[in-house]
Chain A
Amino acid sequence: MKNGALITTSGLVKQYPVGRGHFTALRDIDLIIERGEFTGLVGPSGSGKTTLLNIIGALDFPTSGSAVVLGTDTTKLTHKTAARLRTEHIGFIFQTYNLLPVYTVFENVELPLLLLGMDQGRRKQAVMDSLEWVGLTDKAKSRPAQLSGGESQRVAVARAMVKRPGLVLADEPTANLDVENSHNILKMMVKLNKELETTFLFATHDQKVIDYVRRKITLIDGKVAEDIQTTPKSQ
């Protein structure tokens, strides 16, 4: 499936200052991720998966090199334009769901649309559509504390998908879920990827996730050790 490059990184390097020296989290990363891919960044802890995901998501900036996401060079963004890129085009799914505890499920999913400035009528429809995708319309008025882990992550998926972003970045999305819930979430993501052609990029070392991805990029010590197309074992 070659739909055009959605993400292109060239010579990407990320270093963190440590004492008088520095720690290199990413070394010379060159990647092209096409539109509609379902890709996993895999590797052990500390291999640079989350750092790469944060740079692609314009949450962090590289030390050198470039990362072009949806035609925008994220290294040249200001905080404001980076925020706009995230608002309009990128959805995030976190390991710990990161739902706002004082908001209801509906309000959590509605938040990205409020930031987009969408009018109330369209917003309500979009939120309900999104909750329907994840099968949680009956929990719209619940608060996160009243949900199970699986339900919370489904809300997080709905929140990431509600604005129909071109790219969804998921950082260890199944780390806090049991096997059954992990499979449910991943099946739902595969369905959204196929139906909406949303590009999914995972940072994970969970074999369950790896079994679903169609491309596996292995990072070891901040370098791409392997980049292969795979046949998903679970779909």
Chain B
Amino acid sequence: MLIIKLAFRNLIGAGLRTWLNVFVLSIAFLMIIFVQGLIKGMGEYAVEISVDYNYGGGQYRHEVYDPYDPLTLEESHAPLSKTLSGLIERGEATPILITSGAAFPEGRMQSALLKGIDPDQEILKIPSSFLGTDTTDAIPALIGSRMAKQTKLGIGDYVTVRWRDVNGMFDADDVQIVQIMRNAAPSVDQGQIWIPLERLREMLQAPGEATFVVLEKNFAEAPPGDTTWIHNSPDLLLASVTELIKAKAGTSNILYGLLLFMGLLAIFDTQVLSIWRRRKEIGTLMALGMQRARVIWLFTFEGALHGFLALVVGAIYGIPIMAWVMKHGIPLPSAVEDSGFAIPQALYPSYGVRLLVGTTLLVLVSVTIVSFLPASKIAKLKPTDALRGKQS
């Protein structure tokens, strides 16, 4: 109790010096949580958006389909199995048909994937209901904001698309852009044109066929696939996103370490300076009868209190700021859409209990350790040298 009492007295008595240190440490502490929260929020958003717009609760993919190999698309569709048809009829899944083609915006040719989706589906967040729009003279089409930017197409614009049917014959028609998707995952946006499923089936002369079938989110027990339709679990589908998040987490950990290092350096510096400047005080404490171990604990506890006060001060001004950012997000320039990573128009940080508790404990433990190191030097200080303000 004596050490706690004296440490409090020393900190409060030091006035502005204490509060400056506390403020610097609280900034480092908040920055660690804020940056980690942002990166965590980005990761969660990437997963969420991939699930909502593309993967749902898992997919049944045609055996030949490889999303990374456009050459497989011509052969990667087939009539649906009874099991999958049953799922679709019960509204638990939705089929997607894909073919490779080309679009000709303003006379330029651009490769594009034509994707057919049921306008009435509610499995994916793709606003397919717009595809039910009655366009008298063209196929209604939906594109993402990245694609719109790339092709300079807007709502109401017409663009000619070309494709090959199942017999390998080229055909072409006009589509009219009826809606542009904002905040969609890049995997359903870049280089893609969404049209009604039945129209695409007609265009390809592939009635009742699909490339893959998406299960509804959180589907409890997915039936097993067969030789034609291979079941892909959400974990499997999200593997690449998860890997990307892990890679980004590695970078963020470096930033985490740097911020923590800055905060700890401030405390270490303060402690070293304190010992240097307070040698006479240490000598006086020893002369008055304070044991060396108690002196070490006093200085260590003072440092730990800096950490504790930084948490309190950081919470006072940090919680309102972080709550505001959680609600309103940090707006990002439109250029970030081209990054290829699922980044929203505004970044919303995510502060998990693990992040908050982990960072709090890490800051407290680290601050205590860096306070102990210079304080332990006191043990080697002779009282007579300390009284003379001399380092022994």
Contact = CB atoms under 8 A, between A and B. Distances in A.
Contacts of A57: 287
A111 B13 contact: no
Interface stretch (A35-43, A81-89, A202-210, A212-220): A81-89
Contacts of B13: 101-103, 143
B290 A83 contact: yes
Interface stretch (A62-70, A92-100, A124-132, A134-142): A92-100
B9 A59 contact: no
B171 interface: no
30 contacts: A59-B287, A60-B382, A60-B384, A80-B292, A80-B293, A83-B289, A83-B292, A84-B289, A85-B289, A86-B288, A86-B289, A87-B288, A87-B289, A88-B289, A94-B284, A94-B287, A96-B280, A98-B281, A98-B283, A98-B284, A102-B9, A102-B13, A103-B13, A107-B9, A111-B285, A112-B288, A112-B289, A114-B2, A115-B290, A116-B289
B37 to A, nearest CB: 37
A94 B387 contact: yes
B286 interface: yes
B292 A79 contact: yes
B303 interface: no
Contacts of B286: 59, 83
Given A100-B284, A103-B13, A59 B387 contact: yes
Interface residues of B, number: 26
B384 A80 contact: no
Nearest to B388: A50
Interface residues of A, number: 30
B6 A114 contact: yes
A103 B382 CA distance: 24
Contact of A54 (B10, B14, B289, B384): B384
Interface in B1-41: 2, 5-6, 9-10, 12-15
B43 to A, nearest CB: 46
B133 interface: no
Given A86-B287, A87-B289, A112-B288, A100 B281 contact: yes
B44 to A, nearest CB: 47
A102 B302 CA distance: 14
B383 interface: yes
A91 B68 CA distance: 84
Interface string A18-51: 0000000000000000000000000000000000
Contacts of B387: 59, 94, 98
A111 B287 contact: no
Interface in A105-164: 107, 111-112, 114-117, 143, 159
Nearest to B10: A102
Given A83-B292, A87-B289, A107-B9, 19 more contacts: A54-B383, A79-B292, A80-B291, A80-B293, A83-B289, A84-B291, A86-B287, A98-B280, A98-B281, A98-B287, A102-B13, A102-B15, A103-B9, A111-B285, A111-B288, A114-B6, A116-B289, A117-B2, A159-B288
Contacts of B382: 60
B196 to A, nearest CB: 77
A219 to B, nearest CB: 17
Interface in B269-322: 280-281, 283-293
